[in-house]
Amino acid sequence: MNRYLRAKQVLKERGILMTPQRDLVLRQALTFLHFTAEQLVHSVQAANPGISRASVYRTLGLLSEAGLVEKHDFLYGPPNYEVTFGKPHHDHLMCIHCGEIIEFQEPRWEALQEEVVQRFGYQLRSHTHKLYGVCANCRRLEPKTRRRLPPKLHVEQVVA
């Protein structure tokens, strides 16, 4: 059974009504690896222009609540969504020049996290771990020819 059908199953189990609009939003979201909300709006409206922005956002919210979709605030570029349903847990590495996003797993982190959190008497619920760097390809290119990502004012501290 593919992700689409399994996702529909999850929504059904949660008692979320599947309307044609929601179905289309889900199907379009599944065509992306990572997407912005407005990209999703465009792709949904390309397939059916009658569907409103509000419905797309509402459905995105529904999918998030159901744990099928995650939002990512990367330091560079606009907020970004991902259908995580059916994918193993992973963190992200982004190239600050070309915007490439790499998903990776690093089990050794997870153990360390538990340790840190317990040190403070906390119970871990979730985490976000994002790495930013320059990919090999962008390093090869001259600075002039690099496409800088849409500027975003605040830049996180540079790691030595």
Partner DNA sequence: TCTCACCTGAGACTGAGTCTCATACAATAG
Partner DNA sequence: CTATTGTATGAGACTCAGTCTCAGGTGAGA
Q: Is 126 in the site for a second copy (CB under 8 A)?
A: yes
Note whether 96 binds a second copy by CB under 8 A: yes
Q: How far apart are CA 93 and CA 102, in angstroms?
A: 5
Q: List the interface residues with DNA, window 18-57 (CB under 7 A).
A: 19-22, 36-38, 50-55, 57
Q: Given candidates 38, 48, 52, 75, which one binds a second copy under the rule CB under 8 A?
A: 75
Does residue 111 bind DNA (CB under 7 A)? no
Q: Report d(CA 95, CA 37) in Å as an integer.
A: 21
| x-or-dash string of contact with DNA, 69-108, rule CB under 7 A | --x------xx-----------------------------
The answer to whether the beta carbons of residues 68 and 83 sit under 8 Å apart is yes
Q: How many positions of this chain bind a second copy (CB under 8 A)?
A: 53
Tell me which residue of 57, 62, 19 sits closest to 41, measured CA to CA: 57
Q: Which does 109 bind (CB under 5 to 8 A by kind): a second copy, DNA, none?
A: a second copy
Residues 151 and 149: their CA atoms lie apart, in Å, by 6
Q: Which 3 state secondary structure label does DSSP give 86?
A: coil
The listed partner (DNA, a second copy, none) that binds 119, CB under 5 to 8 Å by sort, is a second copy
Nearer to DNA, 20 or 109 (CB): 20
Secondary structure E strands in 1-83: 69-72, 80-83
